[in-house]
Amino acid sequence: MTNPIRYWILKQHIKMKLYTKTGDKGQTGLIGGTRVPKNDIRIEAYGTVDELNSFIGALTTFHIPDVDRDFLRSIQNNLFIIGSYLATDTSKVALQKASILKMDVIDAIEKEIDRLDAMLPALNSFILPGGSQTGAFSHICRTISRRVERRLLDVGNVYFIDNEVFVYINRLSDYFFALARYLTVEKGEEEIYWKKQD
């Protein structure tokens, strides 16, 4: 996501320069004004969320079914919400409504996982990432989702994080696994199975 201070300013509809120079010495600001090092665990967490969002954006540029592109866009919006949630210093300011993840997003992603899985053959072996270009990109999103989850655990060891955020990110990796398989099968490509050593 963008710098949290910039995000707040954008909400106020104020035009500003793309560079602020306030981070030139290795610090950045949280929503609420707190200055922290750019390698702070919260910055690392929402930076990884932003990385995932960018890879999802790349995935949406490929030729994929509209229903899947639309759902990926909803995930991108939810990740932006999570990024602003992580960037808020709640000891200084209250969470904005726009920074709170709604409960129904978990139900939505579980339904989408089930929809994709219902169209797939039974899984009898481990799958190697690949199979198709879109499938490979989905696997990249899956592994970054796992890294987001690990970063959230780091933050959660120090600061409170709503359980819904953990659950949603955990479901994301399952979703991207199902999507990777579906996009490979949908393209008429073959999944690549792990071969046991002789």
- At 56-77, the pLDDT tens digits run 999 999 999 999 999 999 999 9
Tell me if 19 is assigned to some domain. no
CATH number assigned to the domain comprising residue 140: 1.20.1200.10
Tell me if 124 is assigned to some domain. no
Go through 99-111 and write b for each residue having 16 or more CB atoms within 10 A of its CB, e for each that does not. Answer: bbbeeebbebbee
Q: Could you tell me which residue, 8 or 134, shows the higher pLDDT?
A: 134
Tell me which residue of 141, 133, 128 sits closest to 175, measured CA to CA: 141
Give residue 173's domain range: 4-11+27-118+131-190
- pLDDT at residue 13 in the model: 67
pTM of the model as a whole: 0.84
- pLDDT at residue 3 in the model: 61
- Mean per-residue pLDDT over the chain, rounded: 85
Name the 3-class secondary structure at 112. helix
In sequence order, which residues have a C-beta less than 8 Å from that of residue 27 and are 6 or more positions away? 35, 36, 37, 38
**The amino acid at 48:** T
| Total domain count, the chain | 1
pLDDT, average across residues 154-171: 92
Confidence of residue 27 (pLDDT cuts 50, 70, 90): low
pLDDT, average across residues 168-197: 89
Burial of 140 (0-12, 13-18, 19+ CB in 10 A): middle
Tell me if 126 is assigned to some domain. no
Tell me if 167 is assigned to some domain. yes
Tell me if 47 is assigned to some domain. yes
Tell me if 20 is assigned to some domain. no
